[in-house]
Structure 1
Amino acid sequence: MALTRDFRETIQKRVQKDKAFRRELLKEGIECLLSGDVETGKVVLRDYIHATSGFAALAEATEIPVKSLLRMFGPSGNPQAKNLFQVIAYLQRLEKVHLKLTASKAA
């Protein structure tokens, strides 16, 4: 899913102003990953990271090099589970939320 620069800038501005939207964006990114839509999940989380802490702060907090994080969330990135869950844990702390997984019957 290719996003235009204007669209990304719009998302970033809204994330910075709207706490509920920011939390929903984080939730959506994680839900995409869990549902198997890894590409969309990475795009959403990359946009979330750009609009919040940034990759430099994320690298410092997780001790994962910036270049590795950028590759992880890039189009051909294939993040290791350990690194991905470390990033998700940090993003939840940053947002001051704890997302819970609930089971439901498939449609």
Structure 2
Amino acid sequence: MGLTRNFKETVQARVLADPAFRDALLQEGVEALLGGDVDTGKAVLRDYIKATVGFEQLGADTGASPKSLIRMFGPAGNPQARNLFAVISHLQRHAGVALHVTAQPT
């Protein structure tokens, strides 16, 4: 049986309905970046941004162009650390969470 809803629409609906899922999605995106999986991290954060604050508002809040932010989190995007950390900092404040790094044995 085919899906009746687009996957991204499903994620967006879940983000809006489930704060724990929303916070976990933000955490997963940041963890992917820290783990070296930049493409997955950008994709997860892109979906998170679309489902929460949106690129227009994120641009207004961070002083960045929404188009630049969309490119930054796109498949070919190569964000500068300064811009990436500014966005992550804003997303944490917007969500009301504080992410922390902990060392884990490999």
Q: Normalising by structure 2, what TM-score?
A: 0.94
Stretches of structure 1 that go unaligned for 5 or more consecutive residues are: none
Question: For 1:8 and 1:36, how far apart are their aligned partners in 2?
Answer: 24
Residue 77 of structure 1 aligns with which residue? Answer: 77
What is the RMSD of the two structures over their aligned residues, measured on CA atoms? Answer: 0.8
| 1:104 Cα offset (Å) | 1.2
Question: For 1:39 and 1:8, how far apart are their aligned partners in 2?
Answer: 17
User: Is 1:94 aligned to 2:91, yes or no?
Assistant: no
Q: Deviation digits for residues 8-42 of structure 1, max 9, x if unmatched? A: 00000000000000000000000000000000000
Residue 46 of structure 1 aligns with which residue? Answer: 46
Letter of the structure 2 residue corresponding to residue 81 of structure 1? A
Q: Deviation digits for residues 81-103 of structure 1, max 9, x if unmatched? A: 00000000000000000000000
> Which 4+ stretches in 1 moved above 4 angstroms?
none
Q: Normalising by structure 1, what TM-score?
A: 0.94
Stretches of structure 2 that go unaligned for 5 or more consecutive residues are: none
Paired residues in the alignment total 102
